[in-house]
Chains A and B, each alone.
Chain A
């Protein structure tokens, strides 16, 4: 099997979103073929088959032939995310330390607007009525303060069985310091509720901070029945379709992992889609030999995601919210830091009662959609503005698959223009610019929190709507360049093609730099390694053997509350030199992110994480080249408030590798449109991306 992986066999990646299923097939020459179909939620394989058939047809092969040539099949799904957001998860019991039943209610506090009293307080992920207090208590040092009352615990478990719970989430205080009570509860659960899935805090996510840990445990347990069934169905459907290769599942940290690992911890599939954007962006930036930090954006109809790649590292966060910050639920496990804001082609423009123009966060969505879709939408959206400005060709939207209604767009924009006392084009440009601001702020937020200046970065643009405004945004932020891959519209599925097999394990081992407990830390690291060894053995047995390990720790100056992640210089902290190197790495990270350091202060180290990575064979991306000839046309386009200019309009599939297009221009692709304002120039590279240099 190892031999087969050493060469570039065919690889399939699938991204099943709420609406569309995207498929990318990469053949042995590195050619990307995209397939798309509507998602079929009841049995996911239906939409998947249709999307795969779409791609196979473009390759002039049967689906069976494509599957037969494929050795790696990577699957990503929003199934878990959707189930959590809509609340259609298993009936789950929450077991926690007696005295602290409200961990999931009280959370970590916080609210956006002090003067807002019309937003209801969020409901806990597991209701209070499904919460059970267990008589026990471990102290901060791991000492048993109150022994587990087994009789009481068994009585609780009998109640849980009688009430028909489908899963159990167990999160006891300080189980990270001493897991004996959680382990004993696991034994009792298996006795009293055999076969009922459960999740333990110390085993899933041994981090400090009870809310985050409990939230991750609750989420994981609640999706176990659903995701286990879902993934087993997929396995058997693929087998029935004749697929004999490896099935990998894409994960929250932008990697992929074998099915069995995910079945044990399904929380790792949550938000795997947005996690894959930066994986794709990282590769596209590397292919263009860009060493700068890369801001990877993914613009759809309703949301704009932005994430960050620096020195080939994708920024990871411990704070991912499902739903809105403060009112959603915290994922609690490390995840790719992909910030989402409600902005996209469907964002609606409106004026407040003092006449200030706003765009979003309300969206016309897919139904009725922007006014120009002609499906009954009457309110002006960003897409309508783009049409009025001449950015979109009404006859060539989505490669001509949908005709846009310019009159309807103009009527909608006129509503705003009349109130502002300006022309329709000026109103359209204003809407466009204000909408860009939301995205600019989202990009600034992530660069600020990572201590990066956007003017040192490049932008990688993904998503169907990104090309409309990304060059304007990049110029506003003074970024160095924009990279717009021609496959941008399926960024997540492309990212899976470039992802590594990855597994992580964490352990809490709090210690301070002024009294560094090497034995404690090295025990934690050994424990992490032991757990990674299990993954490694399983993967090695399947022929994945290009293994590497990295370690990091979450740390802060004493009495700071928010952590910074720091890479460990070595796999163990064996001596004073290694200790010092670690502390120095923290000071350096603090200085980089916050521009200050405090050498007089001790550094507190909390949660330690090891990451096992297995590189899949590299894919060589090849240029598609020009597939047919078509002469450029010209049309009137607005790039500011002052008036229209004549822009060149070219079809992407008529451009040869190395071709350059100078703005004002529009490059039309089948699934996206790239707008080049005057003074900018795009070049189609050998890696099948458009690169727009801005630094000069």
Chain B
């Protein structure tokens, strides 16, 4: 990678104080951008699900700073700003560019990205970026996840390959009008556009302030040293891993009729602690598919690398410096790799990305005890569907919105049980959940239940987090529900002897109370009196459940996460009483015997 900021060599290093202070300043810039987006965003996917990221790249297009961003978004901003530089030879101060092109660096078309080049004394120094998932992007169906789309044309999104939307700080209204014509909820889109604009212009202003105080020369040195520092942290972390090549396969659920056998996912990870280097080889994956589940280049890289970061100390900066230690091998024309136009990447950020991330982090568990993670709960089931229709309470005003109210449980780690409000692997718990009351106020929807499921978590020395069961239907007028779920055939896997999570399911409950299994990908219309019931999935376990401390099992039983039966048959823990009260105690001797018996039965089974 080139380093144009390296003009006067590394002879004069910054003081340790200035390095720490400037790191903090840039962190503050991204945080301020993030807060601005969070508080001004209009669609629920932004302000509730936090499905957005802000970041800074250098003028030579290295990822420089990201904060609190989604793993799925952390990489790729650099590809997008590189596209901006490649497509335009008249980039000037006051410009802003709209980018959502998955073939030139974006995650998927629903993630609109605004890029503002930051100039100082006439020189292009940085780019500030805000990327946010939109409520609607004008697809052929009212969803931003068009799983069945044969190609980009059937998908139908407006594609912006780094298109200039501001010149001299003023909107280029042609582009705004195009979006407002095509996008189903133009007011939400424009509101989110303004939120992104506020974020990037704030970032630009703050970077100018840093330049004004410290000068271009100091900042150039800072950029170099910060990348070197980040690389050093990453090298140190990789040196602490054992040398090995680990390989793991997984599969997205079958998607009849497109992919009746599912979508295979393969990752081979080579850890070389001596060279302080990790190589992720994704080239053995299948060719591009004629549907919307292909990964973009950005998603292939960011979600495989996120699987590595998940297993390292969580405070390593994620930027061009730490990325120097990781090589991702991709194949052009592969479903997990670099997509060949016009294959659709409509659903690139979630389903197969979730599987890829899970596969990489679980592969690292094969390095040995204490490494890697189990797989996290998976699938955008009933609680993550896109609902749409007309709201009779507000003059039949149309609505489209993705629900973020369900929950899959997180993966067990070597030290912790799975995080409960995990969502899906690519958001890793960052999202906010909708409030039942706010959701019922905002849309004509009525919820019947949302409760954590029992006995479902992937068992283990550390267990997965539980998913929820959720039931809802329209309160007023028919409601279209579009979904692209996973985890209804292939569960989240446990590792190192840990159990798998449960298998999810969705059912339509008809007016007469009968239950009909819903497809995992598709679209249904619910009339008033009909309900959608979803059982979402839990995370996989880490380590042998028979090694789980009996006190933890007791707490799970008392808290109704596990039944007595589950405790006895899966964990081998027996209690002194069959009633649930605070006096419940582990029967140590009976537990010892039960665990011995379960171990013996395992040996016999082999």
Which A residues are within 8 Å of any B CB, using their own CB? 98-102, 105-121, 127-129, 139-140, 145, 163, 173-174, 176, 208-211, 352-358, 420, 422, 426, 429-430, 433-434, 437-438, 440-441, 444-445, 448-449, 510, 512, 515, 557-562, 593-596, 598, 600-601, 641
List, in ascending order, chain A residues with CB within 8 A of B191's CB: 557, 559-560, 598, 601
CB distance from A445 to the nearest CB of B (A): 7
Asked if B309 and A115 make an inter-chain contact with CB atoms under 8 angstroms apart, the answer reads yes
Does A595 lie within 8 Å of B198, measured CB to CB?
A: yes
B residues less than 8 Å from A106 (CB atoms): 407, 420-421, 433, 450, 452, 468
Is there a chain A Cβ closer than 8 Å to B560's Cβ?
Answer: yes
A456 to B: closest C-beta gap in Å: 14
Interface residue tally for chain B (C-beta within 8 Å)? 97
Q: Are A129 and B20 in contact (CB under 8 A)?
A: no
A117–B495 Cα gap in the complex (Å)?
15
Q: Contact: B437 with A209, CB < 8 Å?
A: yes
B41 within 8 A of A: yes
Nearest Cβ in chain A — how far from B208, in angstroms? 14
| Apart from A110-B430, A559-B401: 6 A-B pairs, beta carbons within 8 A | A117-B373, A120-B417, A121-B417, A129-B580, A357-B17, A560-B191
Beyond A111-B430, A559-B442, is A444–B28 a contact (Cβ under 8 Å)? yes
Asked if A109 and B446 sit within 8 Å, CB to CB, the answer is: no
Quick one: which of A102, A422, A512 contacts B16, CB cutoff 8 A?
Answer: A422
Question: How near does chain B come to A193, taking the closest CB pair, in angstroms?
Answer: 19
- Cα–Cα distance between A222 and B198 once the two chains are bound (Å): 43
Chain A residues within an 8 Å CB radius of B419: 111, 117, 119, 121
What's the minimum C-beta distance from B411 to chain A, rounded to whole angstroms?
7
Contact status A101-B451, CB under 8 Å: yes
Q: Which residues of B contact A116 (CB under 8 A)?
A: 314
- A596 contact from B48, B194, B314, B448, Cβ within 8 A: B194
Which residues on the B side are within 8 Å of A211 (C-beta)?
A: 435
Q: Would you list the 7 A-B pairs with minimal beta carbon distance, nearest first?
A: A99-B449, A430-B17, A354-B232, A109-B433, A111-B429, A117-B413, A114-B428
* Bound CA–CA A119/B451 (angstroms): 23
Contact B15 A641 (CB under 8 A): yes
Q: Chain B's nearest CB lies how many Å from the CB of A83?
A: 20
Residue numbers in B under 8 Å from A139 (CB-CB):
440, 446, 475
Contact A445 B35 (CB under 8 A): yes
Known contacts A107-B421, A129-B580, A594-B39: does B21 contact A437 (CB below 8 Å)?
Answer: yes
**Residues of chain A within 8 A of B198, CB atoms compared:** 594-596
A353 to B232, CA, bound (A): 8
- In contact, A100 and B451 (Cβ under 8 angstroms): yes
B583 to chain A, nearest CB (A): 11
Contacting pair A129 B559 (CB below 8 A): yes
Say whether B40 faces chain A, with CB atoms less than 8 Å apart. yes
Q: Helix, strand, loop or mixed for chain A's interface?
A: loop
Q: Which B residues are closer than 8 A to A by beta carbons?
A: 15-17, 19-21, 23-25, 27-28, 31-32, 35-36, 38-44, 47-48, 50, 68-71, 135, 187-188, 190-191, 194-195, 197-198, 201-202, 229, 232-233, 236, 306, 309-310, 312, 314-315, 373, 394, 401, 404, 407, 410-411, 413, 415-421, 423, 427-433, 435-438, 440-442, 446-452, 465, 468, 471, 475, 558-561, 580-581
Contacts A110-B432, A111-B430 given: A140-B423 contact, CB under 8 Å?
Answer: no
Decide: A105 near B420, CB < 8 A? Known: A99-B449, A115-B310, A559-B43: yes
A66 to B183, CA, bound (A): 72
Among B31, B229, B416, B442, contact of A445 (Cβ-Cβ < 8 Å): B31
Whether A128 and B559, one on each chain, are in contact in the complex, defined by CB atoms closer than 8 angstroms, is yes
Q: How far is the CB of A559 from chain B (nearest CB, A)?
A: 5
Residue of B nearest to A593 (CB): B39
Closest to A434 in B: B20
B202 CB → nearest A CB, Å: 8
| B415 cross-chain contacts in A, Cβ below 8 A | 117-118
Instruction: List B contacts of A561 (CB < 8 A).
Output: 41, 44, 47-48, 432, 438
Tell whether, in the assembled complex, residue B451 and residue A594 are in contact, meaning their CB atoms are under 8 Å apart: no
Bound-state CA distance A433–B20 (Å) is: 9
When the two chains form their complex, are residues A352 and B373 in contact, meaning their CB atoms are under 8 A apart?
A: no
> A129 touching B39 by the CB < 8 A rule?
no
User: In the complex the two chains form, is B42's CB within 8 Å of A557's CB?
Assistant: yes
Asked if A594 and B410 make an inter-chain contact with CB atoms under 8 angstroms apart, the answer reads no
Q: Give the residue of A115, A352, A437 whose beta carbon is less than 8 angstroms from that of B233.
A: A352
Bound CA span A195–B198, Å: 54
Q: Give the CA-CA distance A419 to B195 in the complex, in Å.
A: 44
Contact of A598 among B190, B416, B465 (CB under 8 A): B190
Report Cα–Cα, A113/B436, bound state, in Å: 25
Known contacts A115-B71, A354-B232, A598-B191; is-contact A641 B17 (Cβ 8 Å): yes
Q: Is the CB of A109 within 8 A of B431?
A: yes
**Is B436 touching A420 in the complex (CB atoms < 8 A)?**
no
In whole Å, how far is B463's beta carbon from the nearest beta carbon of chain A?
A: 11
Question: Min CB distance, A419 to chain B, in Å?
Answer: 9
Please name all residues of chain A whose beta carbon is closer than 8 Å to the beta carbon of B411 when the two chains form the complex: 117
Give the CA-CA distance A448 to B203 in the complex, in Å.
12
**In the complex the two chains form, what is the Cα distance from A208 to B23 in whole Å?**
39
Closest-CB distance, A558 to chain B (whole angstroms): 8
Q: State A439–B437 Cα separation when bound (angstroms).
A: 37
Given A354-B229, A596-B40, decide whether A430 and B20 contact each other with a Cβ distance below 8 A. Answer: yes
Given A430-B16, A433-B17, A559-B188, check contact A115 B428 (CB 8 Å).
yes
Distance from A91 Cβ to chain B, minimum over Cβ atoms (Å):
9
By beta carbon, the residue of chain B nearest A137 is B448
Contact assessment for B42 and A437 in the assembled complex, using a CB-CB cutoff below 8 Å: no
B427 to chain A, nearest CB (A): 7
Task: Evaluate contact between B438 and A113: CB separation under 8 angstroms.
Answer: no
Distance from A692 Cβ to chain B, minimum over Cβ atoms (Å):
20
Residues of B within 8 A of A557 (CB): 42, 191
Chain B residue at minimum C-beta to C-beta distance from A564: B39
Note all chain A residues with C-beta closer than 8 A to B442.
558-559
Q: A129-B560, A559-B442 are in contact. Are A210 and B44 (CB under 8 A)?
A: no
- Taking the closest CB of chain B, its distance from the CB of A690, in whole angstroms, is 27
Nearest-neighbor residue (CB-CB) of A146 within chain B? B448
Determine if B35 and A353 form an interchain contact, defined as CB atoms under 8 angstroms apart.
no
The reply to whether B451 and A99 contact each other, CB–CB distance below 8 Å, is: yes
A111 to B229, CA, bound (A): 26
C-alpha gap A139/B439 in the complex (Å): 12
A564 to B28, CA, bound (A): 23
Contact A117 B229 (CB under 8 A): no
Nearest chain B residue, comparing its CB with the CB of A131? B560
Cβ-defined contact, A115 with B449, below 8 A: no
Distance in Å: Cβ of A206 to nearest Cβ of chain B: 12
Determine how close the nearest CB of chain B comes to the CB of A209; give it in whole angstroms. Answer: 4
Residues on B with C-beta less than 8 A from A594 are 36, 39-40, 195, 198
Chain B nearest Cβ from A123, distance in angstroms: 9
Q: Which of A114, A358, A558 contacts B71 (CB 8 A)?
A: A114
User: For the complex, what is the distance from the CA of A121 to the CA of B561, rounded to whole Å?
Assistant: 14
Distance (Å) between the CB of A170 and the closest chain B CB?
16
B236 contacts across to A, CB distance below 8 A: 353-354
Are A100 and B47 in touch, CB under 8 angstroms? no
A residues less than 8 Å from B16 (CB atoms): 355-357, 420, 422, 430
Query: How far is B16's CA from A601's CA once the two chains are assembled, in angstroms?
Result: 49
Which residues of chain A come closer than 8 Å to B373, judged between CB atoms? 117
A-B contact pairs, 13 of them (CB 8 A): A109-B433, A110-B421, A115-B314, A117-B314, A140-B441, A140-B446, A173-B437, A174-B437, A210-B436, A356-B19, A448-B35, A558-B187, A562-B38
CA–CA, A358 and B229, complex, Å: 14
Other-chain residue from B194, B314, B432, B580 in contact with A108 (beta carbon distance below 8 A): B432
Contacts of B437 in A (CB 8 A): 140, 173-174, 176, 208-210
When distances are taken between beta carbons in the complex, the residues of chain A under 8 Å from B15 are 422, 426, 430, 641
Q: How far, in whole Å, are A653 and B394 apart by their CA atoms in the complex?
A: 68
* Complex-state Cα separation, A352 to B314, whole angstroms: 13
Given contacts A109-B423, A559-B44, contact A129 B558 (CB under 8 A): yes
Bound-complex Cα distance A444 to B417 (A): 35
Q: B229 to A128, Cβ gap below 8 A?
A: no
B44 contact set on A, CB distance < 8 A:
559, 561
